[in-house]
């Protein structure tokens, strides 16, 4: 998942008639819920109420796709990805289709979005069961692009969206190696993976996890709080790398695992980030606010032998569907965290992808009961042209959304 922030200029556009303190700055964001109420900023968590009252309504979702089989839905989604690959092998574009966009410094942060998106697209196509020459050519082109571009730079002390680039590039390389395809690129993928792991060490936050923004010291090792879902994403990538014999320093894993263990609550939810640990009952930290990240965090801890039982996994999945309206209500809304329980649109497809990974760990009887619910949360949302999306992010949302959806559906019927 590629996280987003909204700068102060967005506030001015959305709230032209409101009296906004002259000290509002680019540190006022909605991509990371805030709890401080310093005079110099308006906390983003407080913005939730403002945006709910003043922002333009979210666009009406496209009419649900006609009832189709999972196989047909996958076919349409894969065809969309193939037809929307750029000439250089990437997916997406920095096209702005609305009066404002998320905070992203050009070119580095835009590069981070593009490469992370492309890694997800390659992952989705590598999992395709049909290995035709035409599909292989698309994947190979994508892999070559990733190998060339994955070492994305950080543009400044505040933004480091390249954490997502490094994590998904590493996972993509590892899963491609595991597929036994493109053996001629394996040595290059292993070398690039070592670089991704080193970069993830550099960008590890001081508390031991991973994030994408630093509003504090803006130090080499980011000084601000880690985020649980980013940390879980990185840990899953580490596990995939280890599975194909790529060495990951034990301390990196242990530190990340500690972050998630520390953030795990008795009710099965996870604190959004360490900086919100002092407000464990805040909406974003509640079960209904954690739906989009619980599965990723459960899955990551389970991969590394932590005490996440089948019962815990099942309960997390049941919560996802029992309270599903609270993750769905944020889908396609243009402002991060504007929905109930501070839900953001970009958690929808991300959260369901990791739910699929959790599903595959459960006993067959639980899989049979839960799969139809997961399937029906994805297939009907496919757009008429074959893509999926949940949050407008330049023109990266459709390719990465489609990739998440395909990864959720593949291998099932």
Looking at residue 29, the DSSP 8-state letter turns out to be -
Domain hosting residue 216, numbered range: 8-409
Q: From CA 334, how far away is CA 99, in angstroms rounded?
A: 11
**SS3 of residue 227 by DSSP:** strand
pLDDT given for residue 34 in this prediction: 59
In a domain, 319, yes or no: yes
Of 264, 262, 366, nearest in space to 321 by CA: 366
**pLDDT at residue 32 greater than cutoff 80:** no
Preceding amide of 396 cis, omega within 30: no
* Residue 25 reports pLDDT greater than 60: no
Residues whose CB is less than 8 angstroms from the CB of residue 198 and which lie 6 or more positions away in sequence, other chains included: none
CA 351/CA 330 separation, integer angstroms: 12
Q: Please count the structural domains in the chain.
A: 1
Q: How far apart are CA 99 and CA 336, in angstroms?
A: 16
Q: Residues of 316-349 as b/e, b for ≥16 C-beta within 10 angstroms?
A: bbebbbebbebbbbbbbbbbbbbbebbbbbbbbb
Is residue 1 over pLDDT 70?
no
* Percent of residues in the chain assigned helix, strand, coil, to nearest 5: 50, 0, 45
Query: If you count DSSP H runs as helices and E runs as strands, how many of each does the chain have, helices first?
Result: 15, 0
Predicted pLDDT of residue 31: 56
Q: In this structure, is residue 372 part of a structural domain?
A: yes
CATH no. for residue 262?
1.50.10.20
Structural domain includes residue 71: yes
For the question of whether the overall pTM of this predicted structure is more than 0.95, the answer is no
Per-residue tokens: 229: 């879902």
Cα gap 217→176, rounded to integer Å = 37
Distances in Å between the alpha carbon of 100 and those of 9, 12, 28, 94, 97? 8, 10, 15, 12, 8
Residue 293 falls within a domain, yes or no? yes
The pLDDT of residue 164 is: 98
Q: Which residue has the higher pLDDT, 28 or 340?
A: 340
Angle in degrees, CA 224, 157, 210, rounded to 5: 40
> Two tokens at 73?
């839905």
In the structure encoding, which two tokens stand for residue 394, read together?
């330049």
pLDDT tens readout for residues 333-367: 999 999 999 999 999 999 999 999 999 999 999 99
Helix (H) / strand (E) element for 199: namely helix 186-202
Backbone torsions φ then ψ of 270, nearest 5 degrees: -130, 135
Tell whether 1 is covered by a domain.
no
- In angstroms, the Cα distances linking 388 to 71, 247, 301 are 15, 35, 28
Within a domain: 305: yes
Q: Angle of helix 133-149 relative to helix 108-126, nearest 10 degrees?
A: 150
d(CA 230, CA 186): 26
Mean pLDDT, the chain, rounded, equals 87
Q: Residue 389 domain-assigned?
A: yes
Instruction: For residue 227, list its beta bridge partners.
Output: 273
Distance CA 97, CA 109 (A): 18
Over residues 266-311, the pLDDT tens digits come to: 999 999 999 999 999 999 999 999 999 999 999 999 999 999 999 9
Whether residue 337 lies inside any domain: the answer is yes
């Amino acid at each position: 998942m590629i996280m987003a922030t909204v700068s102060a200029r967005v506030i001015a556009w959305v709230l032209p008639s409101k009296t906004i303190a002259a000290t509002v700055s680019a540190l006022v964001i909605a991509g990371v819920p805030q709890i401080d109420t310093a005079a110099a900023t308006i906390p983003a968590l407080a913005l939730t109420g403002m945006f709910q009252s003043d922002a333009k309504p979210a666009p009406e979702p496209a009419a649900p796709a006609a009832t189709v089989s999972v196989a047909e839905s996958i076919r349409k989604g894969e065809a969309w990805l193939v037809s929307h690959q750029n000439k250089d092998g990437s997916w997406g574009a920095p096209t702005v289709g609305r009066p404002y966009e998320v905070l992203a410094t050009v070119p580095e942060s835009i590069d981070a979005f593009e490469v992370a998106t492309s890694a997800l697209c390659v992952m989705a196509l590598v999992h395709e069961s049909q290995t035709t020459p035409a599909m292989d050519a698309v994947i190979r082109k994508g892999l070559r692009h990733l190998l060339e571009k994955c070492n994305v730079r950080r543009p400044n002390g505040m933004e480091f969206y390249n954490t997502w680039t490094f994590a998904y590039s590493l996972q993509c390389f590892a899963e491609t190696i595991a597929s036994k395809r493109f053996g001629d690129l394996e040595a290059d993928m292993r070398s690039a993976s070592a670089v991704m792991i080193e970069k993830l060490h550099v960008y590890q936050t001081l508390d031991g996890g991973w994030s994408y923004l630093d509003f504090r010291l803006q130090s080499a090792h980011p000084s601000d709080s880690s985020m649980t879902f980013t940390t879980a994403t990185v840990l899953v990538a580490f596990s995939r790398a280890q599975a194909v014999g790529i060495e990951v320093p034990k301390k990196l894993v242990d530190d990340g695992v500690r972050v998630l263990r520390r953030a795990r609550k008795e009710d099965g939810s996870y604190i959004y980030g360490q900086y919100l640990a002092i407000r464990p009952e805040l909406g974003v930290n509640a079960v209904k606010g954690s739906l989009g990240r619980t599965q990723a965090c459960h899955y990551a801890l389970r991969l590394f032998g932590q005490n996440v039982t089948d019962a815990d996994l099942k309960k997390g999945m049941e919560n996802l569907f029992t309270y599903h309206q609270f993750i769905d209500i944020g889908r396609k809304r243009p402002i991060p965290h504007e929905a109930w329980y501070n839900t953001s649109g970009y958690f929808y497809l991300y959260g369901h992808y990791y739910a699929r990974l959790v599903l595959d760990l459960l006993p067959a009887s639980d899989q049979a009961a839960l799969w139809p619910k997961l399937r029906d949360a994805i297939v009907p949302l496919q757009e008429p042209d074959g893509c999926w999306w949940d949050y407008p992010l330049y023109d990266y949302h459709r390719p990465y959304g489609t990739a998440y959806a395909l990864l959720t559906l593949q291998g099932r019927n």
